[in-house]
Chain A
C-alpha cells in the first residue's frame, strides 16, 4: 500500500521498542469479546488505474454542464471559475494544513481568511463577517438562534420565500429549542408580506431572503424598520451573492445580521456541497457571532500578522456555555471565494453581475413575448418564475432527452404553484442556448 511507508523490518524494530509481539498484540487493552473476528467486508483495493476508470465512468453519467444546458438555480449556481482558482487553492500548503492553531507557521491561511472577511464584508455591506460556515442554510439557522436568544424572545419570523431547503433546516434546528418559527406569507407580486409582522408578538428575529427564492428583490429596508420597531433583529439571507455586485447590499439596507450562501463566488456546484456559508453582523453584535474570526495583530518584532481571535465565544473554551458547537470553517471554500473576488475585481464584478442580469432578462422577455405568463412583476436577478401551460411536464421530459434541464418545477415546494418553474440564467449560458430552449418550448 503506497500510503503506508513501513517495511517488515521497520515493523519488527518498532514492535521491539514497544514491547509487543505482533501488530494484533498492540490492541491487548481491548477486551477480546469486543474485537472483530473477521476482515472487513469491503471491495478489494483498486489500483490507481482502476480507480480512475471507475470514477470517470461515474462522473460521465452526470447530466452536468456544459454537456447539458442547465437552467437550474435555487441555491446552487453555475458560474465560470477561472483556472487560477483551482490551481491556487490546490496548493498543498493550503490544502493539507489544519486549523491555524500555530500562527507562526499558518500566516498563509490566516491572511487569506482576513482578506476573505474583508472582501465579503464589502460585498454584503456589513461591518464584520466570520471565517465562514457550512452553508447558507446552517448559517441562517445559527444566526436566527443567536438572535432570538440574545433578544430573549420566543418567535422567529421567516419569509416563506426563503429557500425551502433552508426553511427545512430551520425546522430541524429549532425542534428542541423552544423557539417557534412562524412563516410570513408572500404577496401576488412575488415579495414577502411585510404587514404579516404586525400580528406577531415576542418576535426576536425576522429572516428575509433577497433576492428571494423566486428571484425577486425584497424591500429589506422596510423589513429592517419594522423589525427594529418590534424590537427584533433583521437577518438578511441570500443564495446568490453575485446580486450585490449590482444591487444594494443587505447591510446598506439596515440588516443586523447577514446569513447566506457564497457558492457563486468561485466554489464549484459539486452536487451541492461543500459550499460556503457567509455570516456577518454589525460591529456591536460581533461577540454574539458563532464561528471562527481572524484578527490583525503584530508579532514580537512588530511585524503585521494575523491570529484566530475572540475564541472565548467558542466551544473548545466555553464548552456547554458556547454560542454554537461549530469548530471548523469552510476554509478552502473561502479561499476559492477570495481568489475569485480578487480575480474578478471591483470593476469586473459589476460587469459580471450586469451581464447575468441582462441574460436572465432576455430569457424572461422572450418567454413573455412567446405568450408564457411571468406571474411576478417585481425586479429579479438571475432567476424568475414562469408559468407554463398544463401538460408542460411532458415537454420538460422531452427536453431532458435533448440535454436541456428547463428549470425547477415549483409544485414540490409550493403546492399552489402547479405548472410554475423557477428558471435560472447565468453568464455560462449563451443567447443561442436560450434560443434553443425557446424554440423547443414553442414547438
Chain B
C-alpha cells in the first residue's frame, strides 16, 4: 500500500543529498593578517562536507524536528526517565553570554558568578539529600554511579582492606551491575520478595566482610519504596560495608525522605530527571554525587569552596579519587537545575507529592485494564504488564505502538526485568488531570481493540510518518555512516 501524506508531513533528504559546492551558511570574519607559510607534508585534504546555504540548513533541521515527539508535544510517561516539563526560563538563564562564553580556566576572581552558582548548588543538593558533601562533576547518572563507586573503592582501600563484591538487587538499573564491574567489583545479584521490595533476611544472608556494599535504587524500579531500607543499611554497615543509593527516582521523595537520614552513604542525582533539565534526545545530563561525612575526603576534584568571601576551585585534596571531568562538570545543565531550584524552593515537596498522586491515579484507573503484578501504593511510577492481553496475542510493544497512533509517547517497555512484559508508567507532576484522563482513555480503548481487532495493534503505528522499523537487519549489516 502506497503511503499518502498530509500536506504537513514533510520529507527531507540527508544533508549531503542537498546543497551545491560553493554555498555556505557561515560568515568568516574579515582577514586582517597575512597568510602564513605551511608545511605541505602535514596538510590534509579537509573533510568532504556538503556546502549548504543558510536557508537549506534551517529548513533541514526544522523539518527534522517535526518528526520528533518531546515533552513539549505532549504526555511522555516514560517510566524511570522522569519526563517532566522543562521550564523555559531555565533555557534563558543558561544562554546568557557571560556564562556561555566563559572559559573554564579563568582565574577564580574573574569567575565568581559561575563559582557562586556551583557552590550554592552543592549546598542545596546537600540539604535535599541530607548529605554532607556534594560534587557536581559527573556528566550523567551512570557517570555519577561510577564516581560514587570509585569513592567506595577508595574508602575501603584507605581502611586497609579492599573488598571484592557488591550486592545488586534484581530491580536495579542495568547501569548498576555495569558500574560495579568497571570499578573492579563482582556483582552479587539478589532478588526482591513477593511484595516487590527487599527483605532484610536476603541481605543478611549475603552480606559479609568481603562485600564492599550494596547499590539500592529507592524508590525501586517497580515504583515501590524499599520499606526495609533503614534495616538493610544497618545490616550492611554492621559488616563494614557502605550503602550506595541510586537517586534516579528522587522525584518521588523530595522533602519527604532524605536518603542521608535513613542510612545512605553515597548517592547520585540525575539533574535531567528530578531537577527539570531537558533530556535533549539523550543528553547532555548531569549526575551530581552526594556523600556522608566519612566519604567527603574522597570526593573528586576540583571542589568548589568558599574561603574569606571568595569562591575558589580546590584541587589539593590528597585522598580524593581525582578528576572525572576535564573541568567543572556539565555547567550549563547545572545552571538550569539551579534556576529550577530557585524557582521552586521548598515547594519541591509539592512536586513530589503530585508526581506520586499522578502515578497512583493512573495505577488505580488502569488496573482493571492492564494486569498489575504488585498491587500496592506506588511512588512516582507504576508497573503493569500484558498478561490480560496474552490471550489475544497482543504484547506490550503492540500496545505501545498503538499508543503512538493515539498521539501519546508510550511508557517504558520490558523494564524492569522482574516483571514479564513490563509497562512502566511515570506521568510526573507536570501532567494535568485532563492529560491523564485522556491517556487512561487511550489505554482503555487500545485494550478493547486488543479483544476486538488485534490486527490493528499488530500493524501499529499507522498514523505516524514512519511505520515499524527493521531493527534486526540494521544490526546484522550495520550502516553507520552515509
Contacts and interface: CB of A to CB of B under 8 A. Distances in A.
Contacts of A131: 282
B389 to A, nearest CB: 19
Nearest to B55: A84
Q: Give the one of A26, A75, A172, A270 with max B CB within 10 A.
A: A270
A438 interface: no
A229 interface: no
Given A48-B89, A347-B22, 18 more contacts: A26-B353, A26-B357, A30-B257, A36-B256, A58-B113, A59-B99, A62-B106, A97-B71, A106-B67, A106-B281, A118-B482, A135-B325, A297-B473, A305-B469, A325-B178, A332-B284, A347-B21, A405-B106
A118 B481 contact: yes
Interface string A34-49: 1110011111111010
A45 B361 contact: no
A115 B58 contact: no
Contacts of B107: 63, 400, 405
B271 to A, nearest CB: 11
A390 interface: no
B346 A39 contact: yes
Given A40-B254, A307-B471, A165 B326 contact: yes
A320 B280 contact: no
B104 A345 contact: no
A333 B285 CA distance: 11
Interface stretch (A1-9, A151-159, A189-197, A367-375): A1-9
20 contacts: A1-B351, A31-B230, A40-B345, A59-B97, A60-B113, A62-B106, A103-B466, A245-B46, A245-B47, A247-B42, A273-B333, A274-B332, A286-B480, A297-B471, A325-B145, A328-B283, A335-B61, A343-B24, A346-B46, A346-B49
A43 B124 CA distance: 9
Given A26-B377, A315-B178, A34 B467 contact: no
B326 A136 contact: yes
Q: Ordered nearest first, which 7 A-B pairs have the shortest CB separation?
A: A272-B327, A272-B104, A59-B98, A96-B70, A58-B113, A274-B284, A63-B110
Contacts of B225: 27, 29-30
B411 to A, nearest CB: 10
Contacts of A48: 89, 343
A165 to B, nearest CB: 4
A411 interface: no
B112 A61 contact: yes
A70 B111 CA distance: 13
A351 B366 CA distance: 60
Contact of B128 (A17, A40, A62): A40
A322 B180 CA distance: 11
B103 A78 contact: yes
Contacts of A1: 344, 347, 350-351
B265 interface: no
A149 B468 CA distance: 37
A364 B118 CA distance: 36
A300 interface: yes
A31 B227 CA distance: 7
Interface stretch (B28-36, B239-247, B446-454): B28-36
B25 A342 contact: yes
A230 interface: no
Contacts of B230: 31, 33-34
A309 B474 contact: yes
Nearest to A19: B364
A301 interface: yes
Contacts of B159: none
Interface in B390-426: 400-401, 404, 409-410, 412, 415
A310 interface: yes
Contact of A14 (B62, B181, B361): B361
A41 B410 CA distance: 37
B66 to A, nearest CB: 7
B278 interface: yes
Contacts of B33: 358-359, 361-362, 431
Contact of B322 (A52, A172, A319): A172
A80 B339 contact: no
A247 B104 contact: no
Interface stretch (B73-81, B200-208, B288-296): B73-81
A26 B471 CA distance: 41
A94 B65 contact: yes
Interface residues of A, number: 205
A347 B150 CA distance: 46
B192 interface: no
- Residue among A297, A349, A351 facing the most chain B CB atoms (10 A cut-off): A297
A368 B24 CA distance: 36
B194 interface: no
Contacts of A324: 178, 182
A178 B153 CA distance: 13
B64 interface: yes
B36 A273 contact: no
Interface in A314-362: 314-322, 324-333, 335, 338-339, 341-355, 357-359, 361-362
A298 B469 contact: yes
A41 B326 CA distance: 32
A84 to B, nearest CB: 6
Contact of B325 (A19, A86, A169, A314): A169
Interface in B219-245: 224-225, 227, 229-230
Given A76-B104, A270-B100, A3 B153 contact: no
Interface string A78-94: 10101010111011111
A379 B39 contact: yes
A355 B28 contact: yes
Contacts of A103: 466, 469, 471
Given A249-B44, A270-B332, A328-B140, A94 B280 contact: yes
A128 B101 CA distance: 31
A389 interface: no
A163 B323 CA distance: 13
Contact of A331 (B51, B139, B282, B475): B282
Nearest to B44: A248
Contact of B229 (A34, A339, A428): A34
Contacts of B29: 80, 355, 427-428, 430
A252 interface: yes
A418 interface: no
Contacts of A299: 466-470
A201 interface: no
Given A96-B71, A96-B278, A325-B145, A252 B139 contact: no
Contacts of A93: 65-70, 72-73
Contacts of B254: 40
Given A31-B230, A40-B127, A348-B51, A98 B146 contact: no
A62 B261 contact: no
Contact of B34 (A118, A347, A358): A358
A109 interface: yes
Interface string B293-337: 000000010000000000000000000011111111111110100
A374 B447 CA distance: 74
A441 B94 CA distance: 35
Contact of B481 (A75, A96, A128, A427): A128
